[in-house]
Structure 1
Amino acid sequence: MGVVALLLAMLLLAGCGGAKTKPSHAGSSRSQPSRAGGNVAGGDSFRDDLSKSQSSRYRDGSDSVPGDVPDVSKLTEPVPKSEPRSLYGNKSPYTVLGQTYNVLPSARDYDERGIASFYGNKFHGYKTSSLETYDMYAFSAASTTLPLPSYARVTNLENGKSVIVRVNDRGPFHQNRLIDLSYAAAVKIGIWPKGTGLVEVRGIDPGHPAPELPPPAVVTSGHPGIYLQVGAFSDADNAERLAQRLRQANLGDVQVMDADVNGRRVRRVRVGPLADVDRADQVSARIEGMGLPRPQVAVD
């Protein structure tokens, strides 16, 4: 059992960097788990040595993308089907970089909006958290909470493009990220070459098919709004005290919004809208620097 536990811990942390890799024409954005042994670009083979530390496990020191962009119109999206849960990568709860996550029992009814990133060459051919081989030319993804494996439809809220992905990995563990897409999936919906984008992720449960929901509306004003929810309170005075503290820090517009959560009225304190993902990352870091909990991203 000790060996299995060690292996699982290594897989959860395998691709998890603490800092964001700035995307460029030859780079991608990523900070999450792993990939598998096999052949990589160039035709040479290698062994994915899981006994090595994260810093020495990968052949490349930083992530990158292929020189040629694939014709994603010729790639086939996965067909959702019922599959047994992987023996690896589904421990719940689990903790990475001081944050604790809970794995959902299924992808059923999962519908979240947030920031997507993607990963490429560095992890191509290495083990995922489920001990499958990561293939950046397949439509796959990593999630901190969806079970492995599972399926989801990911839609870019800025252009309406969508793709079905098979979730077979854990991550992204970079703050403020909802899902990490394979390189091919990122190309298909326009997350590449920018590196990040605002998306809606809808889980697919093949065992309980539901009526197809209408696609999420594309924001015609040019950009969905990014907000950071810093807290939710049943007491109005507590909400206003936090809002005032955030206003004094000059982080941006601060809103106190009423919401109904499970029949209970709460007041959500949010900062935003923020100009872009980089600004959201900067404001998040400042909020944590004030000794407050890590804020949650909301995309409206």
Structure 2
Amino acid sequence: MKSNLHTRESRPRGFLPDADTVGLKEPWTPVRRHALGPVLFLVMSCCFSTAFSAQKQVSANAGPANANPSATHKPHLDLSGKTRKGKASYYGRNFYTKKMANGMPMDPQSNSAASKTLPLGTKARVTNLKNGSSTVVEIRDRGPYVKGRIVDVSPQTADKLGLKENGTAPVEVKPVEVPQPDGSVKAGSGVAENVRGQPSADLRDGRITN
């Protein structure tokens, strides 16, 4: 009597196939797994490559919705120390205590001012051309980004210049001390004037009077 322990019919399910069944195209066989491996890898590589390229293209074409021009565009600095004329405005309440371009918080009671072109650290005399009021400011921030405006001043400075009634005024900005790229400081067109337009002896020892 022949034993059927090794016949295909009596083999329990889940056991590995014998030599006569290896060639069958069943999904779980090693033949099918080895054939699918490279194909799946190729398909997945193509998908990842396409997704990465699309994301890179979107990143290159899209910028922040409310990008600050001072952060996205390096200003063309005016190192000449020449007088400039334009309009002045002043900081609104929503800018109080916010960081300026020099990293310090904006203090409404300071003489901080913003300019698009004067180097940070520049001291300049701002004169309201309507009423003649004048005071010295220090450029610590970038702006204003409105056509025709050349300087933003703090609320305290706006009081001194008489800007608050209309919000803006035509002004003359005369740089007094202009930091240079090599670390030196250049004297500007406002170096020899005080508030009344007279020579100021206090500038000779490095002090600026208002």
Report the TM-score, using the length of structure 2 for normalisation. 0.52
Root mean square deviation, CA, Å = 3.0
1:175 to 140, 147, 162: 147
1:103 to 45, 66, 77: 77
Q: 1:159 to 1:143 in 2, by over 3 A?
A: same
- State the Cα distance separating 1:109 from its structure 2 match: 2.2
Give the residue type in structure 2 aligned to 1:103.
L
- Between the aligned partners of 1:123 and 1:177, the Cα distance in structure 2 is 17
- State the Cα distance separating 1:138 from its structure 2 match: 0.7
2:124 to 149, 152, 173: 152
- Between the aligned partners of 1:208 and 1:103, the Cα distance in structure 2 is 14
- State the Cα distance separating 1:129 from its structure 2 match: 1.4
1:212 to 192, 202, 205: 192
Q: Which has the higher strand share?
A: 1
Give the residue type in structure 2 aligned to 1:169.
D
The alignment partner of 1:188 has SS state of helix
- State the Cα distance separating 1:147 from its structure 2 match: 0.5
Q: What are the ranges of 5 or more consecutive residues in structure 2 without an aligned counterpart?
A: 1-62, 179-184, 198-210
Q: Which has the higher helix share?
A: 2
Q: Count matched residues.
A: 126
Q: 1:130 to 1:13 in 2, by over 3 A?
A: farther
- State the Cα distance separating 1:13 from its structure 2 match: 4.8
Give the residue type in structure 2 aligned to 1:212.
A
Q: What are the ranges of 5 or more consecutive residues in structure 1 without an aligned counterpart?
A: 1-8, 17-32, 34-88, 218-300
1:139 to 102, 111, 115: 111
Q: 1:132 to 1:193 in 2, by over 3 A?
A: same
Q: 1:171 to 1:13 in 2, by over 3 A?
A: farther
- Between the aligned partners of 2:192 and 2:88, the Cα distance in structure 1 is 23
Q: How does 1:112-127 map to 2 (within 5 A)?
A: 112-127=84-99
Percent of residue pairs identical: 33
- State the Cα distance separating 1:101 from its structure 2 match: 3.9
1:137 and 1:182 in contact (8 A); partners too: yes
- State the Cα distance separating 1:110 from its structure 2 match: 2.4
Give the residue type in structure 2 aligned to 1:138.
S
Report the TM-score, using the length of structure 1 for normalisation. 0.37
Task: Please list every run of at least 4 consecutive aligned residues from structure 1 whose deviation after the TM superposition is greater than 6 angstroms.
Answer: 214-217
1:44-101 deviation per Cα after TM superposition (whole angstroms, max 9, x unaligned): xxxxxxxxxxxxxxxxxxxxxxxxxxxxxxxxxxxxxxxxxxxxx7xxxx63xxxx84
- State the Cα distance separating 1:193 from its structure 2 match: 2.4
- State the Cα distance separating 1:214 from its structure 2 match: 8.2
